[in-house]
A and B are shown apart, each in its own frame.
Chain A
Amino acid sequence: MAEELSCTGLKVLVAEDTPVGQKLMKALLQAFGCVADVVANGREAVEKVRENDYDVVLMDIMMPVMDGLHATRAIRASGNDTLPIIALTAAVTKEDRERSRAAGLNDFLPKPVDGRQLKEKIAKWGHASLGSPPPSGTEK
């Protein structure tokens, strides 16, 4: 599983409103060796980003209180334009993709999530934000 890319040690924030979704993400991120914080909506995500230094944010789009698009715009508006934010959403239409790109999200992952794809994206963006290429295939 971890032969190709490593996410180990990356600090990831997950914004996900459903408890089952949160649980799944925690399981996956734990399996990938990431350090995960999970919040239930956009506003919390914005606060968390302000308080902590994350390598990657996995942002659900449709959430109560504040949706992912608004949250991303708020994060970008606060001057943080290097933090990789990946949309992780069940809204998968072309328009949804375009909207998320327009809001400042860096990448897009449709739900249901594919574990392998998720790992690749986290590795790619996490190491990009760290300014180094993702180490490949060396770590167990």
Chain B
Amino acid sequence: MARARLSGSARVIRPLPVKLLSGALLFTVALLAALGWFASTTHSNFQRAYAAHTRLKTLISAIAYLDEVVHMSAYVAAATGDLWWEHRYRRFEPRLRAAVQEAAGLAPEPFMSQAAARADAAKVKLVAMEDRALKLLHQGDRDAALTVLAAEEYKRQKAAYAEGRREVGAHVERHLRAALLGRRRAAKYALVSTGVALPLLVLVWLGVVKMVKAYISEHQRAEEVLQQARDELERLVWERTGELRQANEALSGEVTERREAQLDLQKAHAELEERVVERTAELSGANASLKREIVRRRRAEEELQAAKQVAEDASRAKSDFLAGMSHELRTPLNAIIGFSQVLQEQYFGALNEQQADYVNDILESGQHLLSLISDILDLSKVEAGKMTLNLSRVNICDLVQRSTTMIKEKCLKHGIGLEVDVPEALRDLEIAADERKIKQVVFNLLSNAGKFTPDGGAIAIDVRQSGREVIISVSDTGIGIPAEEQKKIFEEFYQTAAGSAAKAPGTGLGLSLVKQLVKLHGGKVWVKSEGRGKGSRFSFALPMAVPGAKEESTEAEPPEVNVISTANDLLACLGDVIADSRAANRQFTLCRLRTEPELSKTEAVAMARDILEEKRPDDYLAIDWNGHIHLVLHAIDAEQAKIPLGRIIRRAAGALGQVDVTYTTATFPEDGETADALVKKVSGARSKAGELNVGVLTDA
């Protein structure tokens, strides 16, 4: 606000009009000079005129006097004959002439007039007559001389002269008066002009003074405003200084605080450094122990690897042993069962009743032993990972119906009701499964049910669909299973307390085998029982890899699949991938997945769909209709590829029932620089690239 007022007052002060002032000054000086010059000229002219006037008057008087003197002298000389008078004449006559000349110089005009000329002519005659008289006098003729001077002529000339002289005198008088008049007029002009100029000058200077006064007062006002502004400014400065002082005090307080804080910080820093040193020591200790740990781990890993090798060897040895044992057990059983049959059939003569009974016991025991051996062998195979699924399209309802025939006879014999419940909608349901193994599962469950169901009881088998699973359940009204035993019954060689006392004891392996076989299919098995004597319900769920609805479209090309007819297309794609990988300086692994048995087109698509969920956007997936799947995993080497492949295989197994999926890999760049080399590596030497029929699944 103060600043606004300051700038406002500053605008009021106008600068002094220096040009105007200097103009006025110059004008004044010029005017005064002109007036001075005029006055002094007038004055000198007047003085000169006055002097000339006075002189002329004197000269005129002198001339008159000298005329008188000269004429008198001449006359007296003539009259008296005294020469002194002549002398006097001679002396005064030049003076008269000089006076006349001087007067003529002073007032030429009157002396140039006719009167003057007449006077002069008269004079000349007078002088000549006087000269003659004087000469006559000199000759002694005083009378003659007197006569000359007394002559009429002389008198006349004298009068003419006097007349002329008087006229000249009057003329001079007029001339002088005119000159004086002129001078007086000039003086009057001078006075008038001075009288006009001086007030003008006064006026001009009054203006100037007024202007200067206004300037000065304005200046003073501005000065006052300025002073006010200055005061205001000072006040502001003072205030500001006060504020600043306060701020400064606050700041210095803060600075002190900061300094203290800094000190604290330094202290903390020092502490920290100490701690860092401590930690570093700890860390290097930890590092060292980590290194030791790493070494330990590596050793452990090596040991693990060795142990794995040992385990694998052991597993192989075990399955070799089991196969051998199976053979060795079957050989004596062959004789036992064979001869029992020979006896039972009574080929070589009849047996009595008791003998026939014993032979029957031998045969049944032999057969029990045989099933025990088979179960053990199957379980061992599952555990050794040797059990593979022989997948085909299985109509579950047919399978269930056929399985029941195996115990139908027994049920009839013991008065056990047998009921099969399959909803109409599931009659044609087909899933990918190993028929023989699923049959074994159903048979095991049914025969268990038959074994533990008392005469007059009931057995029911039903099929249900739940989401993407088929659930097959076998219920009975048998002895039931207490809750605490329900989990154990799927363990090997576990038999319920009631079971071991049953009329026809089982092997204790049936349910374990059921569990394993169902698990192989990617399913699960469970039991529900209210308790002892309340019957039990065994269920197992199998994933429906290919739902029935999709079955219809197997003939048509699935919309997601773009078929590329030759392996050259795969090679071309791989070529592009190789080019890209090289540009990005990265690697990738080509994986070829194989299934046993070879998948149908539909199954391959189903499996590839599952793989799509596993594959990353950059990965490339191709399948051929022989059930081989090619997967290009980006930025992954063969070792790393095992992880996603493991997942893919688990998924695939889930999707298709338990299929046996194996894989081969080739990594760019270790295993080859060309698409051909990679494909050859994963396909094995047998496969000729040109024979592949390849389809590509897109994400669409």
Contacts and interface: CB of A to CB of B under 8 A. Distances in A.
Nearest to A93: B323
B664 interface: no
B333 A111 contact: yes
Nearest to B333: A112
Contacts of B331: 18, 21, 90, 111
A95 to B, nearest CB: 9
Contacts of A28: 338, 342, 347
Contacts of A21: 331, 334-335
B345 A111 contact: no
Contact of A92 (B330, B339, B342, B345): B330
Given A111-B330, A112-B330, A115-B341, A31 B348 contact: yes
Given A18-B331, A31-B345, A31-B347, A112 B323 contact: no
A1 B345 contact: yes
Interface in B338-354: 338-339, 341-342, 345, 347-348
Nearest to B327: A90
B370 interface: yes
A93 B326 CA distance: 10
A3 to B, nearest CB: 13
Interface centre among B341, B366, B370, by most A CB within 10 Å?
Answer: B341
Contacts, number: 65
Interface centre among A31, A90, A114, by most B CB within 10 Å?
Answer: A90
Interface string A67-82: 0000000000000000
B326 A24 contact: no
Given A90-B331, A92-B326, A27 B348 contact: yes
A28 B347 CA distance: 8
A31 to B, nearest CB: 4
Interface in B40-83: none
A27 B343 CA distance: 10
A30 B342 CA distance: 10
B431 interface: no
Contacts of B336: 112
Contact of B334 (A31, A93, A111): A111
A116 to B, nearest CB: 8
Secondary structure of the B contact surface, majority rule: helix
Contacts of A39: none
B592 to A, nearest CB: 24
Nearest to B322: A93
Interface in B315-330: 323, 326-330
A55 B337 CA distance: 26
Nearest to B332: A20
B338 A31 contact: no
A29 B169 CA distance: 218
A111 B342 CA distance: 15
A24 B335 contact: yes
Interface in A19-62: 20-21, 23-24, 27-28, 30-31, 62
Contacts of A1: 345, 347
Contact of B341 (A62, A93, A114): A114
A112 B339 contact: no
Contacts of B347: 1, 27-28, 30-31
Given A18-B331, A27-B342, A31-B342, A90 B337 contact: no
Nearest to A116: B341
B337 A112 contact: yes
Contacts of A24: 334-335, 338-339, 342
Interface string A105-126: 0000011111100000000000
Interface centre among A24, A27, A91, A112, by most B CB within 10 Å?
Answer: A112
Nearest to B319: A93
A74 to B, nearest CB: 23
A113 B337 contact: yes
Contacts of B370: 112
A30 B339 CA distance: 13
A113 B334 contact: yes
Contacts of A27: 338-339, 342, 347-348
A18 B332 CA distance: 10
A109 B466 CA distance: 41
Contacts of A18: 331
A21 B337 CA distance: 11
Contacts of A30: 347
Closest 6 pairs (CB-CB, A-B): A90-B330, A31-B347, A112-B337, A111-B334, A112-B334, A115-B341
Given A21-B334, A24-B339, A113-B334, 19 more contacts: A20-B335, A21-B331, A23-B335, A24-B334, A24-B335, A27-B338, A27-B348, A28-B342, A30-B347, A31-B348, A90-B326, A91-B323, A91-B327, A92-B330, A111-B330, A112-B337, A112-B338, A112-B370, A115-B342
Interface of B: 323, 326-339, 341-342, 345, 347-348, 366, 370
Interface of A: 1, 18, 20-21, 23-24, 27-28, 30-31, 62, 90-93, 110-115
23 contacts: A1-B345, A1-B347, A21-B331, A23-B335, A24-B335, A27-B348, A28-B342, A28-B347, A30-B347, A31-B347, A62-B327, A90-B329, A91-B327, A92-B330, A93-B323, A111-B331, A111-B333, A111-B334, A112-B336, A112-B338, A112-B370, A114-B337, A115-B341
